[in-house]
Amino acid sequence: MYSGKRSESSATLSGLDSPVGAKVAIVTGASRGIGHGIAERLLEIGYCVVANSRHITAADTLEAGDRLKLIDGDIGSPYVAKLVVDSAIHNFGRLDLLVNNAGVFIPKPFAEYTVEDFRIATDTNLGGFLYVSQLAASQMRLQKSGHIISITSSIVAQPVAGLTASFINLTKGGLESVTRALAVEFARDGVRFNTVSPGVVNTPMHQVETHEFLKQLGPLNRLAEIAEVVDWVEFLETAPFLNGEVIHLDGGAHAGKR
């Protein structure tokens, strides 16, 4: 766990600037799993971070401090999205990186999805990208620099027989398409858009007893590790000529059925 001096409540904006030369990042869905790993890595390499999830303060997996601010709330809400971006600007003076990690996975046969399932999936997977990305891209355009990375899923490119989860294709698939569109739209403003598309990742979301089955979904017969996703996020930050790219981190599953 990153530990820093606890200096404020999760929703307070203090008007401080980031340390000289430090980059500033927002990470959504940061209380656990991939988002938590990304937030910790960015702090380790010197970034200032605004971390968000619905209950990130209560999760107690990250401790707010001089370089880390915690914002509770549903990132699919325009109000929360604005609060998150405002926190980065008011606390640290700029915004260099947004990692759109928040997402929901609802595995069901297509005909069994409900109106409520649709609302949850679109609010988080689409709304959770749209509102914060609009605000972040506008700030980055003013700065003439910035980078927005989204986390999607390997089954967007290569559905798997027996794994019925078409709402992830419907919602996260759109993020891979819009990554390419926005990479073109914002290129002359110095703002990049990229996506990391993992296969099944070894997180608490997947119960241990399901691991053997899940390993069979990719040709390398194992799960991706959180650190491997985090490594790609860090690499994309250091590769300024990569833009509009979708990185498949799935052991080759996107290439087709074995």
* Integer Cα distance of 8 and 158 in angstroms: 44
pTM listed for this prediction? 0.87
Say which CATH topology domain 24-250 has: Rossmann fold (3.40.50)
Q: DSSP code of 159?
A: -
Question: From residue 110, how far is each of 125, 170, 213 by CA, in Å?
Answer: 17, 11, 21
pLDDT tens, the chain, 258 aa long: 444 433 333 333 334 466 657 999 999 999 999 999 999 999 999 999 999 999 999 999 999 999 999 999 999 999 999 999 999 999 999 999 999 999 988 889 999 999 999 999 999 999 999 999 999 999 999 999 999 999 998 877 777 776 777 888 999 999 999 999 999 999 999 999 999 998 776 566 655 545 455 546 666 566 678 889 999 999 999 999 999 999 998 776 676 665
Question: From residue 231, how far is each of 148, 225, 236, 254 by CA, in Å?
Answer: 16, 10, 9, 19
Provide the residue ranges of all domains of the chain, joining segments of one domain with +: 24-250
